[in-house]
Amino acid sequence: MTAPAIDTESIGREAGRGLKWSLLGTTATKIGSFAMGLVLARLLAPADFGIYAIALAATQFVMHIKDAGLMSAIVQWRGKLEDIAPTATTLTAVFSTGIYALLWFAAPLFASLAGSPEATPVVRMLTLIVLIDGLASVRSAALMRSFQQNRLAVANMAGFLVNAGLGISLAATGAGAFSFAGGQVAGVFVTAALVWIWARVPLQVGFDRSIARRLMRFGIPVAASLGLEALVINITFVIVGRGAGTTELGYFLLAFNVSSWVQGTVGTAIRYVSVAGFSRLAEHEPDSLSAGVQRSIPLLVTGLLPVAVPMAVLASPLVSFLYGEQWTAAGPVLRFLMILTVTRMLMSFAGDILVGAGATLATLWMNLGWAAAVIPSLIVGTRLGGIIGAAAAHATVGLLVAIPLSLLALHRAGIRLAPIAPTLGRPLLAGALAVGVTLAVSQVTSAPVLQLCLAGSAGLLTYGAFVVPIDQLRRWNAAIRRRTAHAVD
């Protein structure tokens, strides 16, 4: 029996609508987070950021394994949601509760390992979000599965407003690192409550062994892979905190947060729709998935470089202008971490493609190879060069190990990558030219605000001039003239 033809245009429209809402929600949240960070950087000391970084490292790692990958399994499930919801609800509740209990007892050991025993209560408070988010994961997956990113976006923005209001209030009253933890726990609770209401998935607890087996077979490799990805990122905080001290770790965390703006905005928005979109493309014809990947990766690279390049080249004036002279030590770190951001986004996108294709074990091996290379490199880099050495080691391993492993995994999963290479030449050349122009113009003045305005604008204009084909510019120009003439008439 011949499988029905897949409506790739319909999937594209649904994914496109979901992506627009995801971008809107994550952009609004990141702008708010940026403003909140500016306020907290003036209310708190670098050491407070360092303590928070330790708690964040523990939380972010287990956030990816809290539900044993069941959220991705639910999004990718080929049958009806109501058939698996009771079993999935039971499993996610058991996993998230068990992991939080483990974290509670392990918090003192983890904080001591990171060189900051005083971080123990902050770890225990912040990791509450693991339990809250885990209990809502089935409902979040239901919204993602049906491309209802509009509801997820509103829920996340509502949670952020609570987070910002409470976090800043706590910081103003001298709560220190607890400002971060208290605000985030309250915000996640509000988001989870809205997701529960809007998902409209009846609360049913049950257990079907065959369904559980299928969910776990798909989910555990995903959870292990994402856990390794989180380990690679967050083990840095432990290594830097132990090797360079809490204050230096505070500088590193600030630079890491700035470098994550792009990853947190564009990357998160893409991840909300990419697994569902690639999964549907992979349901019928393998060529449909390859075609979707061949269209998506050049667009991702083209849109990523004009943000990453100026932030990397102008890292020091950017940090000085936004956060003040007391945070200048974070500038050189940010330059290397922007390189890491590019590699992380490409690697995460590759992981989403593999999950959509059902090749979950490939994502595990990909991240395992990255972890094996980066952890010893971070230890050596921190010992030799402090926080700058750690950032440089992370960026180098990302380029030389993570990207090749991603390409190999996609190739072995049957994704045809050869047609992508010619389409990347123009954005990569434009990015290299933008680096040179931005560096040259930044030497004209030493004032951070002028460097950002003049050099940043020059770099962006250079990139745009080279990355957009001449025939496309002509079409845009003709369209503008037609609209102008129509308006005059």
- pLDDT tens-place string over residues 334-353: 999 999 888 888 888 887 77
pLDDT confidence bin for 389, thresholds 50/70/90: very high
Please tell me which residue, 81 or 3, carries the higher pLDDT value. Answer: 81
Which residue, of 393, 416, 439, is where some domain finishes? 416
Please report the pLDDT score of residue 392 as a whole number. Answer: 93
Please report the pLDDT score of residue 278 as a whole number. Answer: 57
Which residue, of 416, 448, 468, is where some domain finishes? 416
Per mean pLDDT, which of 69-73, 347-351, 372-376 is the most reliable? 372-376
Q: What is the rounded CA–CA span in Å between residue 413 and residue 357?
A: 8
Q: Shortest CA distance to 206 belongs to which of 363, 293, 301, 91?
A: 91
pLDDT at 437 over 80: yes
| Same structural domain, 139 and 230 | yes
Of 7-16, 262-271, 320-329, give the lowest mean pLDDT range: 7-16
How distant, in Å, are the alpha carbons of 277, 323, 336 from that of 362? 19, 41, 28
Q: What is the rounded CA–CA span in Å between residue 84 and residue 102?
A: 27
| Same structural domain, 434 and 355 | no
Asked if the structure places residue 1 within a domain, the reply is: no
Asked if the structure places residue 2 within a domain, the reply is: no
Asked if the structure places residue 3 within a domain, the reply is: no
Q: What is the rounded CA–CA span in Å between residue 261 and residue 259?
A: 6
pLDDT at 425 over 70: yes
Average pLDDT, the chain: 77
pLDDT confidence bin for 244, thresholds 50/70/90: confident
| Same structural domain, 260 and 289 | yes
Mean pLDDT of 233-258: 82
Asked if the structure places residue 213 within a domain, the reply is: yes
Mean pLDDT of 145-154: 72
Please report the pLDDT score of residue 5 as a whole number. Answer: 47
Please report the pLDDT score of residue 475 as a whole number. Answer: 63
Please report the pLDDT score of residue 334 as a whole number. Answer: 92
* Range(s) of the domain holding residue 359: 8-416
Whether the Cβ atoms of residue 391 and residue 252 lie closer than 8 Å to each other: yes
| Same structural domain, 438 and 295 | no
| Same structural domain, 305 and 372 | yes
CB count in 10 Å sphere of residue 148 = 16
Q: Shortest CA distance to 57 belongs to which of 115, 144, 4?
A: 115
Please report the pLDDT score of residue 3 as a whole number. Answer: 43
Of 12-16, 130-134, 180-184, 203-207, give the lowest mean pLDDT range: 12-16
| Same structural domain, 276 and 181 | yes
For 273-305, the pLDDT digits (tens) are 444 555 555 555 556 777 777 777 887 888 888
| Same structural domain, 333 and 467 | no
Contacts of 114 (CB under 8 A, 6+ apart): 54, 57, 237, 238, 241, 242
The number of distinct structural domains making up the chain is 2
Please report the pLDDT score of residue 137 as a whole number. Answer: 78
Asked if the structure places residue 81 within a domain, the reply is: yes
| Same structural domain, 371 and 431 | no
Which residue, of 416, 438, 472, is where some domain finishes? 416
Please report the pLDDT score of residue 1 as a whole number. Answer: 40
How distant, in Å, are the alpha carbons of 75, 187, 271, 295 from that of 147? 10, 23, 12, 20
- The upper half-sphere exposure of residue 192, i.e. CA atoms within 13 Å in the direction of its Cβ, equals 17
Q: What percent of the chain has pLDDT over 70?
A: 72
Please report the pLDDT score of residue 128 as a whole number. Answer: 84
For 98-110, the pLDDT digits (tens) are 888 888 888 888 7
Q: What is the rounded CA–CA span in Å between residue 224 and residue 204?
A: 27
pLDDT at 406 over 50: yes
pLDDT at 272 over 50: no
CB count in 10 Å sphere of residue 182 = 21
Asked if the structure places residue 27 within a domain, the reply is: yes
Of 161-165, 222-226, 453-457, 460-464, give the lowest mean pLDDT range: 222-226
| Same structural domain, 412 and 426 | no
For 182-228, the pLDDT digits (tens) are 888 898 899 888 888 887 777 777 777 877 777 777 666 666 666 66
Place of tokens 């564009």: 266
Per mean pLDDT, which of 175-184, 253-262, 310-319, 471-480 is the most reliable? 310-319
Q: Which two tokens stand for residue 64?
A: 């990816």
| Same structural domain, 474 and 342 | no
Q: Shortest CA distance to 170 belongs to which of 60, 51, 39?
A: 39
Per mean pLDDT, which of 247-256, 331-340, 411-420 is the most reliable? 331-340
Of 156-165, 227-236, 263-272, 370-379, give the lowest mean pLDDT range: 263-272
Whether the Cβ atoms of residue 378 and residue 389 lie closer than 8 Å to each other: no
Q: What is the rounded CA–CA span in Å between residue 305 and residue 375?
A: 27
Mean pLDDT of 44-72: 67
- 3 state SS for the chain: CCCCCCCHHHHHHHHHHHHHHHHHHHHHHHHHHHHHHHHHHHHCCHHHHHHHHHHHHHHHHHHCCCCCCHHHHHHHCCCCHHHHHHHHHHHHHHHHHHHHHHHHHHHHHHHHHCCCHHHHHHHHHHCHHHHHHHHCHHHHHHHHHCCCHHHHHHHHHHHHHHHHHHHHHHHHCCCCCHHHHHHHHHHHHHHHHHHHHHHCCCCCCCCCHHHHHHHHHHHHHHHHHHHHHHHHHHHHHHHHHHHHCHHHHHHHHHHHHHHHHHHHHHHHHHHHHHHHHHHHHHCCCHHHHHHHHHHHHHHHHHHHHHHHHHHHHCHHHHHHHHHCHHHHHHHHHHHHHHHHHHHHHHHHHHHHHHHHCCCHHHHHHHHHHHHHHHHHHHHHHHHHHHHHHHHHHHHHHHHHHHHHHHHHHHHHCCCCCHHHHHHHHHHHHHHHHHHHHHHHHHCCCCCHHHHHHHHHHHHHHHHHHHHCCHHHHHHHHHHHHHHHHHHHC
Backbone angles phi, psi at 241, to 5 degrees: -60, -40
Mean pLDDT of 84-88: 78
Backbone angles phi, psi at 208, to 5 degrees: -115, 115
Q: The pTM is what?
A: 0.62
pLDDT at 331 over 50: yes
| Same structural domain, 468 and 381 | no
| Same structural domain, 283 and 407 | yes
Mean pLDDT of 421-426: 85
How distant, in Å, are the alpha carbons of 76, 140, 190, 459 from that of 70? 10, 11, 22, 43
Whether the Cβ atoms of residue 251 and residue 327 lie closer than 8 Å to each other: yes
Please tell me which residue, 364 or 9, carries the higher pLDDT value. Answer: 364
